[in-house]
């Protein structure tokens, strides 16, 4: 036997690559390497490091809230955010507006074969920073790699658990005539920013997404208004119009807003005019609607205006007895019109 003997293995061991391969998702050495070196090292916490089949969580005193959301935004990076921070803020905000203090998140990544590892690193870094800033722990996760062409780059799912804190907002079914509607900031920023980035529309300045955490604003608001808050909701897909429709359906009342009171940035206003879109139908990612008891609207606005992110909060309308339409909007010259649910995604017009 000489020292020159070599094992000639017929199975090719994949070399290091600069992109995600199917082998990264097959549970072997490359999978472990991806998870340990690229995911856990960035997200860093003891629950993830134990790498069990399920996260073991400490006892919680109060009742829990549980939510899940999937993020499939294109492009993955847009002015004001990216899919990583969005996946954290989206779920954290869902818990916050439900009256819960976010505690733990799970994270599932579905990655397209060929996805650049450097881009994955950037997304994970952003995700980790968003988790840190909102003090939530990612305690369990999953990674799948699927063949090229079956997903658009990267999809993320996060699920979140939070502890409900008193007084829990009772929800839209409790709305009654005279209650007031407040929006926390300018609307339509996220949808327009993503549309401009996706279609490479050359607007100057480029619109920025409002992607961000609502935790602080919700905490301040709940501290100041307590049980005068009826319901809160982050106005994501379908925008303000979709939230109002849902609330009107739950309450059986008419929700009426005045378009002139709704804050809209000049960039969003201009692009919406140009493309024939209604900002009330456009998605937000860090802007919420709040319904408060009669007379509490100005107090809610004052509290929100102490934070820079919600400095443009406004009372935009009120709750009325059910009329002909479930949701109405007063336009420029004052007529009240029905405000319908958006129909699918907004399509830009010809001219």
Partner 1 sequence: MKYLDEYRDPAAAQVLLDEIRRVSTRCWTLMEVCGGQTHSLLRHGIAAELQGTVELIHGPGCPVCVTDQADIDFACQLAKRSDVMLTSFGDMLRVPGSQGSLLDARTRGGQVRIVYSPLDAVELARRQPEKQVVFFAVGFETTAPATALAVKQAAQYQLDNFSLIVSHVRVQPAMESLVESPDHRVQAFLAAGHVCTVMGYQSYDRFVARYQLPVIVTGFEPLDLLQGILAGIRQLEAGEAWLENCYSRAVQVAGNQSARDLVQEVYQVSDCRWRGFGLIASGGLSLREPWLRFDARARFAECGLPVILNSACRSFDVMTGQLKPPECPHFGKQCTPETPLGAPMVSSEGACAAYFRYAGV
H-type alpha helices, the chain = 29-33, 41-43, 46-50, 83-97, 117-134, 189-198, 215-225, 239-251, 266-275, 297-304
What's the full length of the chain, in residues? 351
Q: Compute the least distance from the CB of residue 275 to partner 1, in Å.
A: 8
* Least Cβ distance, residue 348 to partner 1 (angstroms): 4
- What minimum distance in Å lies between the beta carbon of 325 and partner 1? 5
Q: What is the 3-state secondary structure (H, E, C) of 208-268?
A: CCCCCCCHHHHHHHHHHHHHHEEEEEECCCCHHHHHHHHHHHHHCCEEEEEHHHCCCCHHH
Least spacing, CB of residue 284 vs partner 1, in Å: 20
Q: Please tell me the distance from the alpha carbon of residue 80 to that of residue 196, in angstroms, as a whole number.
A: 12
Helix, strand, coil in percent for the chain, rounding step 5: 35, 25, 40
CA quadruple 295, 300, 306, 308: dihedral positive or negative? negative
Report the alpha-carbon distance of residue 42 to residue 131 in Å, rounded.
11
Considering the complex, state which of residue 69 and residue 336 has its C-beta at the smaller distance from partner 1: 336
Of residues 13 and 343, the one with the C-beta less far from partner 1? 343
| Residue number with CB closer to partner 1 (13 or 350) | 350
Give the shortest CB-96-to-partner 1 separation in angstroms: 32
Least separation in angstroms between residue 203's CB and partner 1 is 12
Nearer to partner 1, 14 or 348 (CB): 348
Q: Name which of 166 and 273 has its Cβ closer to partner 1.
A: 273
Shorter beta-carbon distance to partner 1: residue 2 or 200: 200
Nearer to partner 1, 11 or 324 (CB): 324
For binding to partner 1 (CB under 8 A), which residues are involved? 199, 201, 266, 269-270, 273, 276, 323-325, 328, 331-338, 340, 343-344, 346-351
Q: Return phi, psi of residue 72, to 5°.
A: -130, 35
CB of 298 to partner 1, least distance (A): 24
């Amino acid at each position: 036997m000489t020292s020159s003997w070599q094992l000639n293995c017929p199975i090719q061991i994949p070399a290091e690559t600069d992109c995600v391969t199917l082998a990264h998702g097959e549970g072997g050495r490359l999978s472990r390497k991806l998870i340990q070196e690229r995911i856990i090292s960035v997200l860093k916490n003891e629950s993830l490091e134990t790498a069990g089949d399920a996260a073991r969580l400490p006892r919680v005193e109060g009742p829990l809230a549980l939510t899940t959301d999937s993020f499939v935004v294109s492009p993955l990076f847009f002015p004001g955010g990216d899919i990583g921070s969005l996946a954290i803020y989206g779920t954290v905000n869902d818990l916050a507006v439900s009256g819960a203090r976010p505690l733990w998140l799970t994270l599932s990544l579905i990655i397209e074969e060929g996805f650049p590892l450097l881009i994955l690193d950037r997304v994970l870094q952003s995700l980790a920073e968003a988790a840190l800033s909102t003090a939530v722990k990612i305690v369990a996760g999953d990674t799948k790699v699927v063949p090229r062409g079956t997903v658009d780059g990267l999809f993320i799912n996060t699920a979140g658990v939070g502890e409900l804190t008193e007084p829990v907002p009772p929800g839209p079914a409790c709305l009654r005539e005279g209650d007031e509607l407040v929006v926390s900031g300018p609307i339509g920023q996220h949808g327009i920013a993503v549309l401009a980035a996706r279609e490479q529309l050359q607007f100057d300045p480029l619109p920025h997404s409002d992607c961000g955490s609502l935790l602080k604003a919700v905490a301040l608001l709940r501290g100041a208004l307590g049980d005068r808050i009826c319901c809160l909701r982050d106005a994501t897909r379908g925008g303000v119009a979709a939230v109002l429709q849902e609330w009107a359906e739950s309450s059986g009342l008419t929700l009426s807003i005045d378009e002139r009171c709704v804050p809209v940035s000049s960039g969003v206003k201009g692009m919406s005019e140009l493309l024939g879109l209604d900002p009330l139908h456009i998605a937000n990612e860090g802007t919420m609607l709040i319904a408060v008891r009669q007379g509490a609207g100005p107090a809610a606005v004052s509290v929100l205006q102490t934070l820079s992110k919600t400095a443009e909060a406004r009372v935009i309308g009120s709750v009325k007895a059910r009329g002909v339409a479930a949701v109405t909007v007063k336009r420029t010259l004052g007529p009240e019109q029905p405000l319908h649910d958006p129909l699918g995604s907004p399509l830009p017009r010809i001219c």
